[in-house]
Each structure stands twice: as structure tokens, then as C-alpha cells.
Structure 1
């Protein structure tokens, strides 16, 4: 099965999961991550805002704020050559939809952070392939953004 077929199959399976199940899974995963040593020592953490039945990282984001972490969201910058930048995010910040319909901070959010300046990145995913590689929605933004990394320490968490 190629990556596109696997992505379609996993998305179909994810649509079958109940909102209650997804909410419980998000809560459980948040509880596991907040005690992880990598999370505990990270100061600048990027999150995403869930769309299309993605696992919602909001419980983890709220906990990060409570712990005094600097929280960031990805932003599609028109001059970034299809790579993500990261904008500071605080409760009640104004968000706008990008051309994919995904909420993001406004371009005037400052300062924007390049990927290399982050300590930890919580990324959305559809699933992973038989080699353990992340499967996203297929546009490659996270892949291009983090292509500079020689190794990635990752825990694949998805529903």
C-alpha cells in the first residue's frame, strides 16, 4: 500500500472514532507528555490547533501555559518557501484562517520563531508507515520545515 492509500485508510478509520474517545485520548496523552523529561526541560514548545478530527492537543497546551512554557503555533508565511514559522500563542490571541482553513496567529504576531529555535514540537499526524515515518495530510510542510534535523526524537501519538 502506498503512502496516499495508507493516509486515506487511516483518515477513514479516524472518522469512525467518537468525539468522546478522542477527548479521552487527548487527555490521557497530555497526562503522559507532561511528565516526560523532554517536555519538562523544554521552554519553547510548538503546538498545533486540531482540525478535521485530529487529536486535540489543547489539554497539553493549557498545561504548558500553567507550567510557564512559551507556546507557539505554526504559521504559513507568504515568503517562507512552503516552510512553517512559529508565532507566540497566548490565551485569547486573535487567530485567522490560512488558505487551508486552519487557524493561525496573525502575521503581525511577533517575533516569529524559526523551527531551529524550538525545544519541542507537537505535530499533527494521520498515522505512521511501516518504517515509523510520520504521515501527515500530504502537503509536506512539517517535513520541509524540519529537514535540517539529522535525527528526530519522536513518539508517534495518533488516533
Structure 2
């Protein structure tokens, strides 16, 4: 295993354990704080079609976006990633509502049962879960490469959505090993 892969694996293990060790009330506070941060972010407020995720493994939950009655969310549509069944490590996005029926995918992550995939370029903004991040836009995900493969610039023919990372503040690091295929993020919203 290369040094970069070994370092990333070690960081993933440490950060995932920290996320998983958070108590329910800590996660609830983080979700509410994150919602407030998003509602004060001009890029989020101007976006109409937003890719979100259904939290697992200690990630900050974005469910408050679906359950909030805040008028600033009224004209927004939310979409979640669906892991394609092929081996191309591609994500499709499908619209989600708070009443959607969910099932677990092969990684144990919740997905809607009914899927109507959209064109990924039609999203204005994508909120991606992070394992770790730097202030310079480097990110570390779970290691599957799904977001990197899906949002590789050469594949986004019409337009590239803005990519924002979502993480707990303790997930910020000074530096991360960087690979040529790692897609940088524009901004991190943390709680």
C-alpha cells in the first residue's frame, strides 16, 4: 500500500470512529446548527435543485432540510444519490421527499425505493458528506470514489454543479494526501 493510501486509511479510521462515537443529542445539535449555517449561505439560498445525502456512519444528518417549514426552503427540490448497480462507480440522483419509502443499498446506505434518475448536471449544488477536509478544498470521503467519478469535470458536459462538503468541525485537518483524480470542493459547511 502506498504512503498516501495508508495515510488516508488511517485518517478514515480515526475520523469515522469519532463520528460514530457522537451521542444522539450531539448529532441533533449538529444537524440543527448545520441547517442554520445553510440558511445563511448565499450559494445554498440561490440554489433550486440540491443534491443531498441520507446520513450514515455518523455523518451529519440533512433530514432537517426535508422536515423544515422555513419559507426559504419552499421552492427547493432535494435529490439524493443512488449507487448504480454497475461497476463504473457512478451515482445517479433522484428526488426525495420526507414521505419517500426507503431501502438499504449494497453499502447499507438508505435510498428511495422509487427512482427517477435526473441528469447530474441539472443540479445547482451538491452537499457531499466528508470524512475529513482542509480549508483549501481538499476532501476525504469514504474511499469508494463515487463522487469523484460522478463529478469528474470531463463527464459534466453541460455544467458542473457547485460541490460543497458537509462535516463536523473536528473533521478539519491542516493537510491531506491528494490524488490527481480527487475532485476539490468549493466550500465546507460544518457544525
Q: TM-score, normalised by structure 1?
A: 0.85
Task: Count the aligned residue pairs.
Answer: 156
Q: TM-score, normalised by structure 2?
A: 0.72
1:113 aligns with 2:118: yes
1:20 aligns with 2:53: no
1:67 to 63, 70, 74: 74
**Equivalences for residues 1-150 of structure 1 within 5 A:** 2-63=7-68, 66-79=73-86, 81-106=88-113, 108-110=114-116, 112-128=117-133, 132-148=137-153
User: Any runs of at least 4 consecutive aligned residues in structure 1 with deviations exceeding 6 A, and if so which?
Assistant: none
1:135 deviation in Å?
1.3
CA contact (8 A) 2:138 2:184 kept: no
1:154 aligns with 2:187: yes
CA contact (8 A) 1:3 1:129 kept: no
Counterparts of 1:130 and 1:67, CA distance in 2: 31
Secondary structure of the residue aligned to 1:75 is strand
In structure 1, list runs of 5 or more residues that go unmatched.
none
CA contact (8 A) 2:27 2:60 kept: yes
1:79 deviation in Å?
4.4
Counterparts of 1:142 and 1:132, CA distance in 2: 14
1:16 deviation in Å?
2.7
Counterparts of 1:128 and 1:89, CA distance in 2: 27
In structure 2, list runs of 5 or more residues that go unmatched.
1-5, 154-159, 161-182
Residues 108-158 of structure 1, C-alpha deviations (whole Å, 9 max, x = no match)? 522x12321110111111112586421111111111111115864221536
